[in-house]
């Protein structure tokens, strides 16, 4: 993106967010596009997910301490994109690298099946949150910097590949936020890095804490924190 003047990027704002950046931010070898054209199979996705459950747990809820993210309920397109990005070294994730490669997971059909299964898992009603300080500041920052891509309530956008961040673990999001701000997460949306580059640590904590408290729709949330995935019983 070196051919676009930085000042122009800041001036155009959301126009670039939803259009101009998409060709470079969201391209690849074509495996993502192939996976998106396939009809996913829930039962096959379950079999692939059994490997993922060792870290993300059977419910797909990850860990409240942020060591593993919640992946249940994430948008189908987003899941496919993230898996392909890891395969193609567009997103570094040493703990997952081996498991997502074709020789371990499978082809584009496997990506579609696995992503579909994960997207249908209900989210935890008890995700990890911050300390609840500076939430008004967090809300102001969210409305100014984040709402254009992630939506009014952190719901994201499946068609535009913007992830659902509502209900995600605070510590996981804060770690990703720091990496994106420092330019260390390769597949982050370029406009996001520009928008948060001047955030202080307190700004980052405030907005991430605010996001962690945004509730997903009831229909995609488990009835209680005691819910267990019946596919593993």
Please check whether the domain covering 29-126 is classified as CATH 1.10.760.10.
yes
The pLDDT of residue 92 is 86
How far separated are the first and last CA of the chain, in Å rounded? 49
Q: Is the pLDDT of residue 72 over 70?
A: yes
The pLDDT of residue 94 is 85
Q: What is the CATH number of domain 6-24+128-220?
A: 1.10.760.10
Percentage of the chain modeled with pLDDT above 70:
89
**Residue 157 DSSP one-character state:** B
28 pLDDT band (50/70/90 cuts)? Answer: low
93 pLDDT band (50/70/90 cuts)? Answer: confident
Which tens digits make up the pLDDT trace of 29-46?
Answer: 799 999 999 999 999 999
Residue that has been written with the tokens 């994430």 in this structure: 74
Q: Hey, what are 115's tokens?
A: 């992503």
The pLDDT of residue 24 is 56
Domain with CATH 1.10.760.10 in the chain: 6-24+128-220, 29-126
Q: Is the pLDDT of residue 18 over 70?
A: no
pTM reported for the whole predicted model: 0.89
The pLDDT of residue 11 is 35
Percentage of the chain modeled with pLDDT above 90:
81
Rounded CA-CA distance 202/195 in Å is 16
Kindly state the helix (H) or strand (E) to which residue 57 belongs, with its residue range: none
27 pLDDT band (50/70/90 cuts)? Answer: confident
Which tens digits make up the pLDDT trace of 132-182?
Answer: 999 999 999 999 999 999 999 999 999 999 999 999 999 999 999 999 999
Which of 133, 191, 233, 199 lies closest to 1 in space, CA to CA? 191
């Amino acid at each position: 993106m070196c051919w676009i003047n930085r000042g122009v990027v800041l001036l155009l704002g959301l126009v670039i967010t939803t259009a101009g950046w998409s060709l470079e931010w969201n391209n690849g070898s074509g495996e993502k596009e192939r996976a998106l054209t396939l009809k996913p199979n829930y039962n096959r996705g379950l079999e692939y997910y059994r490997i993922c459950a060792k870290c993300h747990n059977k419910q797909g809820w990850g860990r409240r301490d942020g060591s593993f993210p919640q992946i249940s309920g994430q948008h189908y397109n987003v899941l496919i994109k993230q898996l392909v990005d890891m395969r193609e070294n567009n997103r570094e994730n040493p703990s997952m690298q081996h498991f997502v490669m074709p020789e371990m997971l499978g082809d584009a059909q496997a990506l579609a099946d696995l992503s579909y299964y994960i997207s249908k898992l209900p989210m935890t009603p008890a995700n990890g949150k911050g300390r609840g300080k500076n939430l008004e500041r967090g809300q102001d920052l969210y409305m100014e910097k984040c709402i254009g891509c992630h939506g009014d309530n952190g719901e994201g956008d499946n068609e535009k590949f913007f992830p659902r961040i509502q209900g995600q673990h605070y510590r996981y999001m804060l770690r990703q936020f720091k990496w994106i701000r420092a330019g260390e997460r390769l597949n982050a949306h370029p406009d996001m890095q520009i928008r948060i580059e001047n955030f202080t640590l307190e700004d980052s904590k405030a907005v991430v804490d605010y996001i962690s408290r945004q509730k997903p729709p009831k229909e995609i949330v488990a009835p209680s924190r005691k819910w267990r995935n019946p596919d593993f019983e």
